[in-house]
Amino acid sequence: MSIKTLVIVCGFLAISRALENISVSETTHKDQNDNGNVQEVSNNLEHFESNKKFQDLLARMEHLEAREKSREKTYLKQLNSLRRQLVIQARRTASLEGKVRRLSNKSPDSLKQELKKTDSKDTSNDSNGRLRHAPIESREEVQTQRIRRAENENPVAFFATLSQHLTHVGAHQPITFDNVVTNIGNAYNSHFGSFIAPVSGTYVFSATLFSHYHTNYHAQFVKNGQAITTMYVSGSEAGYDTTSQTIVLQLQKGDDVCVQNYDTDRPVYGYNYSTFAGFLLQEDMSSSAIVGR
């Protein structure tokens, strides 16, 4: 073999080795790029998942904050209502104590003189212009009512909450507010969720109802089995909802009042969010004696 041919062969071998080195280098660089791309995609996925979890956490915190604000407003309304009721009861108690003290300090003769003064006021003119005294029955009725008012007028008030959730409540089923906080006069029955008037008079009732998450339902104030009003609790849009209603009723002794569910198979939110309260505003002294006397 000549020197020229040997040089050519050596050149070809060098070129071939250089090409192989270039190919190996490109393959290694490509593998490194592929590994870098995979790592970058993995990092992006982890970042996306972290952002999603963070957004979900923010949404839950906003929902909890809105729910707490709603609870705070409900509690403030209930506290204001209870404060007003306490003021009314305190005034009535002070008035009754004053009447009892005045009656206990008077002798029978002074009571008769006071009745005579009342009789002198209860007169009118007949067709001839002469004075006509009130009938004896009216004087006796006034005296009886005064005695009964002093002896029998007692405060009547109750306040109860729903401690546990009620599920699958049937149509026209009474809501049993089982957690009794106040029951002056023992007129409220927590087992049946009903109030039975111990005396005839004017009563005030109030109810606050809370909905389960994305749940709607109707409820009614019911007197002696007859619906008086209707309440609607809508939680379908806001998630949770609350409604309150206050009514004034003229009741006879023995009438019962309760809050009933109106729809079929509905849940009522408990945990003391739903409440039922009432009190005697003014007793009717023309009726018969108190139940149980």
- In angstroms, the CA 255 to CA 267 distance is 27
pLDDT in tens, 262-275: 888 888 888 888 99
Q: What is the model's pLDDT at position 191?
A: 92
Q: What is the model's pLDDT at position 291?
A: 46
Q: Are 222 and 203 in contact (CB under 8 A)?
A: no
User: Burial code of 165-178, b = ≥16 C-beta within 10 A, e = fewer?
Assistant: ebeebeeebbbbbe
User: Does residue 249 carry a pLDDT above 90?
Assistant: yes
User: Does residue 136 carry a pLDDT above 70?
Assistant: no
Q: Which amino acid is at 171?
A: A
Domain extent listing, the chain: 8-103, 106-152, 155-293
Q: Are 145 and 247 in contact (CB under 8 A)?
A: no
Q: In the structure, what pLDDT confidence band is assigned to residue 90 with cuts at 50, 70 and 90?
A: confident
Token pair belonging to 215: 């749940």
- The average pLDDT across 276-280 equals 96
User: Does residue 247 carry a pLDDT above 90?
Assistant: yes
Q: In the structure, what pLDDT confidence band is assigned to residue 183 with cuts at 50, 70 and 90?
A: very high
pLDDT in tens, 2-35: 666 666 767 767 777 766 766 656 666 656 666 6
Integer angstrom CA distances of residue 255 from 183, 187, 196 = 17, 11, 6
User: Does residue 165 carry a pLDDT above 60?
Assistant: yes
- The average pLDDT across 122-147 equals 55
User: Does residue 137 carry a pLDDT above 60?
Assistant: no
CA 176 to chain centroid: 14
Of 115-119, 176-180, 243-247, the one with minimum mean pLDDT is 115-119
Give 155-293's CATH code, choosing from 2.60.120.40, 3.90.550.10, 2.60.40.10, 3.30.465.10: 2.60.120.40
Q: In the structure, what pLDDT confidence band is assigned to residue 290 with cuts at 50, 70 and 90?
A: very low
Integer angstrom CA distances of residue 94 from 87, 91, 99 = 11, 5, 9
User: Does residue 127 carry a pLDDT above 70?
Assistant: no
Return the closest-CA partner of residue 275 out of 138, 79, 5, 131. 79
Integer angstrom CA distances of residue 27 from 13, 23, 39 = 21, 6, 18
Q: Are 115 and 139 in contact (CB under 8 A)?
A: yes
User: Does residue 244 carry a pLDDT above 70?
Assistant: yes
- The average pLDDT across 276-284 equals 93
Which residues touch 181 (CB under 8 Å, ≥6 apart)?
Answer: 159, 160, 161
pLDDT in tens, 35-87: 666 677 677 777 777 787 878 888 888 888 888 888 888 888 888 888 888 88
- The average pLDDT across 225-233 equals 91
Integer angstrom CA distances of residue 45 from 35, 41, 52 = 15, 6, 11
CB atoms within 10 A of CB 23: 10
User: Does residue 141 carry a pLDDT above 90?
Assistant: no
- The average pLDDT across 235-257 equals 87
